[in-house]
Structure 1
């Protein structure tokens, strides 16, 4: 028998072989990842109609769905279409149409097998769950999950019900509420994946076997499904709300709470859960939170387009093994670089190596990976690694003379083309560069503490730098998985410049007798991730005082702030500052009552917002958009507001 003719569309390729196995391949045009755009979904409708016809005439015994992209399976829906889709007159019908399409795939009498490598996220996972059996590559690149909550929504293509059917209500809701991405083996453990293979080139063979053996996935066992029934479901929903409340307020991020409400209503019936998706999903898509989170997503993605194409970095030399320098070195080693770490002696380098090992143990699954990372991080008291390094980063104490002396010595050993960078948090680069023969070599790479958690790196540009040097700095930040924002050399740059008026304003109120607990609670009510007094303690009172004075802010000698520094009560790192600290947590007293906590928070944050507008006026950053994403990534400023300047434009800050 002759195999049915091949069919190609813009997004899909289909052909059936002589064994009557259909091979459906997605390859979205014009991008590095596959997405389920409206056009792709419409084309899939036509292809599914063909599959139905071929199956009914016994010309097809099964279908294997694969991706032709190296990046992975499907990264989700096309987010660039979300603004148009948020129209209430368009979205419900589009969702109903997609629901119907995925149900048709699920109802095919022949097995449909999804072969997954790389990214399988959001709508991509929802499509995979509508297939009858899922095979995934068990390697570090495979990531499976529902990140929709990070965009202010939840799965809307039937993923809520189908994930509950497969993984059980507690595990499925946990994945959707956190947005975390699973490795293939973890997804297999939750029954979201049925079979693991070692390499991508095994997907076709294993997919063929699954069709020939007519494999079908089994739902979650009764022991997991029981939590979706009756009173247990209400109890589970209550616990979920408590956990969500610890991370996000309902008025700021409504999506998790809307999903929990949907689960409490329909969590005992996965098909009813899917039917209920549309009414719960539609109001979220057009909400201010979702609109602003999409803005933040696109601004963040825009940062990835900076830098030089093809710029390669393999060796990094870090000078200064304190908290910042040691953690920068550890992060670079974690990201695969060979790193040499210099300080005066091993007594100073040793604690940094210990912290690095803790980071590697936390991040890696296997001991051999930890051991390999430790081999990449080499103690170098004599600074021999500087001559071989592609990037040299200075991260010593914030004293101009010390930094100048270091760069004077290093410049003599620098290889051609190497990046020479300082991690200074407040000193203008022009002043540091006075010590160099070639002042154009020095750029700023300002990391934030804790390095492993905060994504921003300020790439500081002095008046001496050419575009090429800044582009290489941005390329390096991207190479180690950070988000670069280019900032002109000016006191405090961007983040410290806007943070300091905010923190010092709160400190002044505490000096006048206001409750520090009240001020911190007000900032949280506004949407900040941490209150200004707790933040000052976390940064370190000595660091805060130093930066404040560098920026021209007065810290009176008789103030409580100055006394705490003088007494060595420096905050979290010393165990006491404005707060007493126990096991890394601030010990707080009760919050005094206040009629409008969020309003007080708005007043507290106003100096930060005003300072952000000022740095844009002064040209410290290139645009309001760059300022907004920089402040969000560097301070955690409420993402649901879209950034300080967007919030002010909307009348919300």
Structure 2
């Protein structure tokens, strides 16, 4: 075998070759140009061994605990925006995977953990696939999240194995599958319970010359004749519900490829490059890659190494929508949680919402029952003394927060984190009366907690680096993305979001059509319009934050009138919109000559406020502002964030 940094090969006495990938100095395996080049040399040697009769088969495994292969090396993508360089790289990868598929002996992939993107494409070029059926295994094509689609032959090979409807669905959505789902779909051939048994089952598969079967004709029929065009149009309709083709072209390019070649998986594979290359060159892909790297950077925060804290128990004070949902999320993530409020009547709705979340997110009755058991009602607040993290999520009234934390400081064990979920009040004000005000940090979650990844970790003038690092560690421990923000009114997200929403409300007060305002913001790239967002946040909450930021709501405004009439938005069923079954009832959108242009005007207050927040040091950098605003507000990720959009002249 040729020498290699990433690959190790052993030939045993039965004639089985054991090929292990373990990219050095990396937490996960990725397919870089160097790794693929090394594999090409190894495949040449395997071909010679197979031709000589010395090799009965090959088993491909990963040497990393993190998983199989997490995909192509994204750090190299910016070096391959030249069409000629990219085309050559794609052609080499295609030729390599074709040679793997054509080996005269079986090549079996043993999968554990992550098997994504290029890693799945490599596995699909193997003759047989075995996966560990545990909760860590995830299989899929997340390329659409980077503004591209599979480019190493995965489009055609996934259709061959899973059929066009299922394969296109996972490529278009970027959905990651559990091992059982992948097996039912045909992407995996066999499941094992433990990683320790992968080698034994793979050995048997080699000796028995196991080969994967293509999807049955009934599944492949959707790609034949005029049915394919019908299916393609249906896919476009579904894609438009979530992605504007002007903003996210990748799904539509993939659908075009399917419509042209979906009846022939080899032709679809060969046709990938023609549509892949323009996507890689696009501003959308460039910005989505930037967002990916910023997101990965957030995962490196917190305390690392042997001093990394362990969080087992959380106590939440306040069982309203935010407090109850924070408690449910922590329980879902495996922590024991006690939830406190004045009486059980206030806690019961939170427990019911939690059960719905568990049923939606967890697979088995045992998992659901265990999550329910981890979340306890605690009217008396006994859980404070045992908690590693105590989170206050009561109403935005300073005197109530003071009372909560003075009590918590007396009862909490040494080293426990005291955190407030305040949305706008400076921590210095909340910490008044504490013996050790530096113990209080902010952990500001966003609604809905289960969907929005951001947690603002708020740093006051009393906090040390260690205080904030531990707060970031907790956010990471529950699967959230922490952005450290200075204690200032509104922090980052509410500070930039409120001027945007208030300016839109003022337009409506002045006679503008609310449906047109919201449609314009969506046309620009926002996930929902500012008026619908104000209703979703709650008009009373919006008024409070506006006042905290020094922009009081005029008593003579329709905004104030709606609040006085208890028409608070989604939660009351009526606000600027009427709400039915959790959805705003909207009228027709009046025509406008440049809806996206109007949307750009609407977001200017948000962009301006972000620029000011960066200049004032509310966040440490423009990069952190961009990822924070994207994660906290849904700001158009294809633009790379408000600061990047302004830099590019697009906002």
> What is the TM-score normalised by the length of structure 1?
0.99
Aligned partners of 1:86, 1:36: CA distance in 2, in Å? 17
String of CA shifts for 1:493-536, please: whole Å, max 9, x gaps: 00000000000000000001100000000000000001000000
The unaligned stretches of length 5 or more in structure 2 are none
| 1:25 maps to 2:20 | yes
Equivalent residue number for residue 232 of structure 1: 227
Question: Partner residue of 1:218?
Answer: 213
Please name the residue that 2:115 is paired with: 120
CA displacement 1:164-192 (0-9 Å, x = unmatched): 00000011000100000000000000000
Equivalent of residue 588 in structure 1, options 564, 586, 590? 586
Q: Which residue of 2 aligns with 1:370?
A: 368
Give the counterpart of 1:421 among 404, 408, 419: 419
Q: Structure 1's 138 and 8: CA in aligned 2 closer, same or farther, altered over 3 A?
A: farther
Q: Using the alignment, how far apart are the partners of 1:390 and 1:328 within structure 2?
A: 15
1:8/1:14 contact within 8 Å kept = no
1:451 is displaced (CA, Å) by: 0.3
Name stretches of at least 5 consecutive residues in structure 1 with no aligned partner: 1-5
Deviation at 1:88, TM superposition (A): 1.3
> Residue 89 of structure 1: CA displacement?
2.4
Q: Does 1:486 align with 2:484?
A: yes
Distance in 2 separating the partners of 1:50 and 1:494:
56
Deviations 1:467-517 (A, max 9, x none): 110000000000000000000000000000000000000000000110000
Which range moved further: 6-15 or 296-305?
Answer: 6-15
Shift, 1:388, TM fit: 1.1
Q: Equivalents in 1 of 2:115, 2:465: separation in Å?
A: 37
1:143 paired residue number: 138
Map of 2:33 onto structure 1? 38
Correspondence 1:85 to 2:83: no
* Aligned positions of 1:98-497 closer than 5 A: 98-309=93-304, 310-497=308-495
- Partner Cα separation in structure 2 for residue 589 and residue 454 of structure 1: 28
**Is contact 1:26-1:34 (8 Å) kept?**
yes
In structure 2, which of residues 615, 618, 623 is the aligned counterpart of residue 617 of structure 1? Answer: 615
Alpha-carbon shift at residue 464 of structure 1 (Å): 0.6
Distance in 1, matches of 2:161 and 2:330, equals 38
The secondary structure found in structure 2 opposite 1:529 is coil
Distance, in Å, in 2 between the alignment partners of 1:103 and 1:492 is: 55
How far 1:454 moved relative to its partner?
0.3
Structure 1 CA distance for aligned equivalents of residues 289 and 166 of structure 2: 26
Select the residue among 531, 556, 559 that pairs with 2:557: 559
Contact kept in structure 2, 1:99 and 1:158, CA below 8 Å: yes
Matched residue SS, 2:463: coil
Of the structure 1 ranges 554-563 and 149-158, higher mean CA displacement relative to structure 2 is found in: 554-563
Instruction: Tell me which of 626, 643, 649 is aligned to 2:647.
Output: 649
User: What is the CA–CA distance in structure 2 between the aligned matches of 1:220 and 1:86, rounded to whole Å?
Assistant: 35
SS of the equivalent of 1:316 reads: strand
Indicate the residue corresponding to 1:608 in structure 2.
606
2:64 to 44, 69, 75: 69
- CA offset at residue 85 of structure 1? 1.4
Q: Distance in 1 between matches of 2:14 and 2:462?
A: 67
Deviating more after overlay: 167-176 vs 6-15: 6-15
Aligned residue for 1:3?
none
Paired residues of 2:2 and 2:41 also in contact (CA < 8 A): no
Structure 2 equivalent of residue 56 of structure 1? 51
TM-fit CA distance, 1:554: 2.4
Q: Deviations over 1:232-264 (max 9, x none)?
A: 000000000000000011110000000000000
* Aligned-pair CA distance for 1:8: 5.0
Q: 1:412 aligns to what SS in structure 2?
A: helix
SS of alignment partner, residue 247 of structure 1: coil
SS at match of 1:125: helix
Residue 408 of structure 1 and its aligned partner are, at CA, apart by: 1.2
After superposition, the C-alpha distances for 1:426-474 in whole angstroms (9 at most, x for unaligned) are: 1000001112111111100000000000000000000011111000000
Deviation at 1:323, TM superposition (A): 0.4
For 1:480 and 1:106, the matched residues in 2 are separated by 41
> Within the alignment, does 1:627 sit opposite 2:622 as a pair?
no
Give 3-state SS (helix, strand or coil) of 1:268's partner: coil
Q: What do you get for the CA RMSD once the two structures are aligned?
A: 0.7
Q: Following superposition, which runs of at least 4 residues in structure 1 exceed 3 angstroms of deviation?
A: none
Pairwise CA distance, 1:10: 0.3
Q: CA deviation at 1:317?
A: 0.5
CA distance in 1, matches of 2:331, 2:221: 45
Q: In 2, distance between residues paired with 1:410 and 1:262?
A: 60
SS at match of 2:241: helix
Cα pair 1:36 1:74 within 8 Å, conserved: yes
TM-score w.r.t. the length of structure 2 is 0.99
Cα separation, 2, equivalents of 1:217 and 1:86? 35
The 3-state SS of whatever aligns with 1:89 is: helix
Q: Please state whether the residue corresponding to 1:90 is helix, strand or coil.
A: helix
- Measured in 2, the distance between the counterparts of 1:136 and 1:27 equals 18
Shift of 1:7: 5.9
- Aligned partner of 1:527 in structure 2 is 525
In the alignment, the residues of structure 1 paired with residue 254 and residue 613 of structure 2 have an alpha-carbon distance, to the nearest angstrom, of: 39
Which moved further from structure 2: 643-652 or 306-315?
Answer: 306-315
| Aligned counterpart, 1:12 | 7
Q: Distance between the aligned counterparts of 2:94 and 2:4, measured in 1?
A: 21
Contact 2:342–2:379 (CA under 8 A) maintained in structure 1: yes
Distance in 2 (alpha carbons) for counterparts of 1:438 and 1:180: 46
Secondary structure, counterpart of 2:244 in structure 1: coil
CA distance in 1, matches of 2:32, 2:123: 16
Distance 2:633 2:462 in 1: 28
- How far, CA to CA, are the matches of 1:410 and 1:226 in structure 2? 63
Secondary structure in 1 matching 2:271: helix
Q: CA deviation at 1:109?
A: 1.1
**Structure 1 CA distance, aligned partners of 2:310 and 2:26?**
23
- Helix, strand or coil: the match of 2:545? helix
Q: In the alignment, is the contact (CA less than 8 A) between 1:7 and 1:15 conserved in 2? A: no
